[in-house]
Amino acid sequence: MQHVIFLEPAFPANQREFVRALHAVGAVISGIGTAPVEAYDSELRSWMHSYEQVGSTASVNAIVEAVKKIQQRGPWVHQLVSTIEALMLPAAEARQLTGIPGMSVEQTLLVRDKYMMKQYLMARGIRCAKNAEVGTVDEALAFVKEVGFPVILKPLAAAGAAGTWRADDKAGLARAIEESGMSPHRKMTMEEFITGHEGFWDTLTVNGRVAYEQICHYYPNVLDAMRTRDCSPIVMVTNRMDAEGYTKLKVFGRQVLTALQIDTAPTHMEWFIGPKGLFFSEIGARPPGVRVWDLYCAANDMDLYVEWAKALVHGDCNPAPSRRWSAGMVALRPNKDGRIAGYTGVEAIKQRYGDFILRMHLPPKGSRTQPVESGYMGNAWVWGRHPDYDLCKYMLEDVGRTIKVWAE
């Protein structure tokens, strides 16, 4: 029987789904988190054999001390798992210090540090945007001289478009450097800007085999979506996985996994395609954020969390996605920052689409709004699914046009 330590069992909200799945496949689970165990609901507590509260799950020392307590109590610990990007490196370092097998510190760094990742992959023939690690204005200007504007400036390790800037000229570059806090002690990745469409390719990879794969699209691209209030950005999950146009992407993605020697892990790979062809953007050895796995489950009539747990605990899984639905989410932005005053268009959307709407999240009146850059689930959002991809996309676009979020 596998004893698995899981970091942060309840935050963000879908973390409990991983714990549920581990319990469902027979694992003994010990949790490490920042909340007191009493803060968790009784069902979540019942799934865990033991629990240790720490001041920070980003602290290697705190994790190590908690792991040692769990190891002393027994049973033998087989795995220490994190599904959150920011906790992957602390988890790897804690594994190394406590003798627990799993992804090494070196390999974790490779899928966390964007500059290191791209240098490694380009050396193995993977097409990436030209990039450099910069910490001074002179280094940034030297890179711009090589590739020209526009350029992208972003942290060496971050998830999605968090803290990402686009600079179209020297004035924009100066603003990006100032706002990012770039310095010789806080170096950033700078990349040439690739024109094209952006999406992601996710897998559940088991013993080096892609057991499940999913292709998704952004409308508009992430950087645009996270920088303007004047759009209702959409993430779309396709059910046209056998479409001929995806063949090259599937081969390309597998080349990346092979180059990185991904063994058993969920992966999340961002890609661009445009006039210059298909380019790798970045990859994480963890599930995507904003509960995208829930969309995969709804689109494919399956429990991907349980399949992940089977792979982790039993060493294999055989998902059988139905591909019956396309699915997606649309983010709804308030008209301004402040507090929610109300909504219009909600009943019209319910009447038009009925059961094709999966979930609606409409924060109550009086709730404080979140900034645009808080992401796809920062404020109101709607999930939907439909057997036809184009109709599903149209439905979510219609939701974005129709439902208005008013703030005061």
Q: Take residue 89 and report the two structure tokens written for it.
A: 């490196």
Residue 163's pLDDT band, with cuts at 50, 70 and 90, is confident
227 plus 354 within the same structural domain: yes
What residues contact residue 127 under an 8 Å CB cut-off, 6+ apart? 277, 278, 279, 280
What residues contact residue 202 under an 8 Å CB cut-off, 6+ apart? 213, 214, 215, 216, 266, 267, 268, 269, 287, 288, 292, 296
Task: State the alpha helices, DSSP H only, in 87-228.
Answer: 88-98, 105-110, 114-122, 137-147, 170-180, 222-225
220 plus 354 within the same structural domain: yes
Distance CA 312, CA 299 (A): 23
Asked if the bond preceding 364 is cis, omega within 30° of 0, the reply is: no
352 plus 230 within the same structural domain: yes
pLDDT score, position 278: 97
148 plus 209 within the same structural domain: no
Distance CA 34, CA 391 (A): 43
What angle, rounded to 10 degrees, do the helices at 114-122 and 247-260 form? 100
Closest CA to 91 of 306, 309, 286: 286
Q: What are residue 53's DSSP bridge partners?
A: 33
Task: State the alpha helices, DSSP H only, in 270-388.
Answer: 292-300, 304-314, 346-353
What residues contact residue 388 under an 8 Å CB cut-off, 6+ apart? 326
142 plus 24 within the same structural domain: no
Q: Is the pTM of this model over 0.85?
A: yes
Q: Write down how long the chain is.
A: 408
Is the predicted pLDDT of residue 367 greater than 80, yes or no?
yes
What residues contact residue 33 under an 8 Å CB cut-off, 6+ apart? 7, 8, 9, 10, 11, 51, 53, 54, 57
Closest CA to 213 of 239, 234, 236: 239
Domain boundary among the residues 151, 167, 192 is at 192
* pLDDT single digits (tens) 263-279: 999 999 999 999 999 99
Provide mean pLDDT across the span 5-22: 96
201 plus 152 within the same structural domain: no
The CATH number for 148's domain is: 3.30.1490.20
- Least confident range from 34-38, 136-140, 161-165, 327-331: namely 161-165
Provide mean pLDDT across the span 327-343: 98
* pLDDT single digits (tens) 197-224: 999 999 999 999 999 999 999 999 998 8
* pLDDT single digits (tens) 36-86: 999 999 999 999 999 999 999 999 999 999 999 999 998 999 999 999 999
291 plus 375 within the same structural domain: yes
Closest CA to 18 of 6, 32, 34: 6
Positive or negative torsion for Cα 116, 122, 126, 130: positive
264 plus 395 within the same structural domain: yes
* pLDDT single digits (tens) 89-133: 999 999 999 999 999 999 999 999 988 999 999 999 999 999 999
141 plus 58 within the same structural domain: no
Is the predicted pLDDT of residue 162 greater than 60, yes or no?
no
Mean predicted lDDT score pLDDT of the chain: 96
pLDDT score, position 157: 74
The string over 172-199, giving b where at least 16 C-beta atoms fall within 10 Å of a residue's C-beta and e elsewhere, is bbeebbeebebeeeebbbbbbbbeeebb
Distance CA 91, CA 139 (A): 33
In which domain, by residue range, is 374 found? 197-407
252 plus 176 within the same structural domain: no
pLDDT score, position 156: 82
The CATH number for 29's domain is: 3.40.50.20
Tally of structural domains, the chain: 3
